[in-house]
Amino acid sequence: MSDKLLVVSTDCHAGLPIADYKPYVESKYHEMLDMAVPITVEMMEKSESQFLIKDINDAWRAPIQQELTGAWDYRERVKMLANDGIAAEVIFPDGITEKNTPPFGAGLGLSPKDMVPELQWAGAMAHNRWLVELCGNDPARHIGVASIPLLWDVDQAVEAVRWCVDNGLRAVMIPTLWYEQDAYHHVKYDPFWEVCEDLGVIVHFHSGPAPHAEYFGAGFPAEDNREQLPGAMGVYVSEVMWWLYRPLTFMIWGGVFERFPRLKVMIVEGGTMFMLPPWLRLMDFHYSEGQISAKLGNFREHLSMKPSEYYQRNIGIGASCVLRPDIDIRDDIGLEKIMWGSDYPHPEGSWPNTAQYLRDTFSNLPEQDGRKILGENAVEFYRLDRARLQQVAEEIGPDVSIFN
314-347 pLDDT per residue, tens: 999 999 999 999 999 999 999 999 999 999 999 9
Q: What gap in Å lies between CA 321 and CA 339, rounded to an integer?
A: 10
Q: What gap in Å lies between CA 73 and CA 69, rounded to an integer?
A: 6
Of 396, 400, 319, which is closest to residue 363 (Cα–Cα)? Answer: 400
Cα-based angle 345, 169, 83 (whole degrees, multiple of 5): 30
Q: What gap in Å lies between CA 41 and CA 49, rounded to an integer?
A: 12
pLDDT (0 to 100) of residue 211: 95
241-286 pLDDT per residue, tens: 999 999 999 999 999 999 999 999 999 999 889 999 999 999 999 9
Q: What gap in Å lies between CA 167 and CA 195, rounded to an integer?
A: 15
Record the pTM: 0.96
Q: What gap in Å lies between CA 18 and CA 5, rounded to an integer?
A: 36
The sign one gets for the Cα dihedral 390, 391, 394, 397 is negative
Host H or E run for residue 288: helix 276-288
**pLDDT band at 53; cut points 50, 70, 90:** low
pLDDT (0 to 100) of residue 312: 97
| Mean pLDDT, range 5-22, rounded to an integer | 97
| Mean pLDDT, range 93-100, rounded to an integer | 82
Written in H, E and C, the secondary structure of 124-169 is HHHHHHHHHHHHHCCCCCEEECEECCHHHCHHHHHHHHHHHHHCCC
- Percent of the chain clearing pLDDT 90 (strictly above): 85
**pLDDT band at 52; cut points 50, 70, 90:** low
pLDDT (0 to 100) of residue 377: 98
**Exposure class string for 77-86: b at 16+ Cβ within 10 A, else e:** bbebbeebbb
pLDDT (0 to 100) of residue 40: 87
pLDDT (0 to 100) of residue 60: 86
Q: Are 11 and 269 in contact (CB under 8 A)?
A: yes
**pLDDT band at 291; cut points 50, 70, 90:** low
Is pLDDT above 90 for 235? yes
What residues does each domain of the chain span?
8-403
Q: What gap in Å lies between CA 322 and CA 338, rounded to an integer?
A: 9
Q: Are 175 and 110 in contact (CB under 8 A)?
A: yes
| Mean pLDDT, range 229-249, rounded to an integer | 95
**pLDDT band at 59; cut points 50, 70, 90:** confident
Is pLDDT above 90 for 8? yes
Is pLDDT above 70 for 47? yes
119-174 pLDDT per residue, tens: 999 999 999 999 999 999 999 999 999 999 999 999 999 999 999 999 999 999 99
pLDDT (0 to 100) of residue 290: 67
pLDDT (0 to 100) of residue 208: 92
Is pLDDT above 90 for 54? no
- Domain spanning 8-403: which CATH class is it, in words? alpha beta
**pLDDT band at 289; cut points 50, 70, 90:** confident
Written in H, E and C, the secondary structure of 387-399 is HHHHHHHHHHCCE
User: Radius of gyration over alpha carbons of the chain, in Å?
Assistant: 21
| Residue type (1 letter), 335 | L
Of 17, 31, 138, 10, which is closest to residue 72 (Cα–Cα)? Answer: 17
| Mean pLDDT, range 227-244, rounded to an integer | 94
**Exposure class string for 49-60: b at 16+ Cβ within 10 A, else e:** ebbbeeeeeeee
| Mean pLDDT, range 365-373, rounded to an integer | 98
Mean pLDDT, rounded, of the chain: 94
- Percent of the chain clearing pLDDT 70 (strictly above): 98
**Exposure class string for 200-223: b at 16+ Cβ within 10 A, else e:** ebbbbbbbbbbebeebbbeebbee
Instruction: Residue 188: count other Cβ atoms within 10 Å of its Cβ.
Output: 9
Cα-based angle 92, 168, 344 (whole degrees, multiple of 5): 20
Is pLDDT above 70 for 50? yes
pLDDT (0 to 100) of residue 294: 67
Q: Are 384 and 140 in contact (CB under 8 A)?
A: yes
Report in angstroms the alpha-carbon separations of 386 from 80, 144, 375, 381.
21, 17, 10, 12
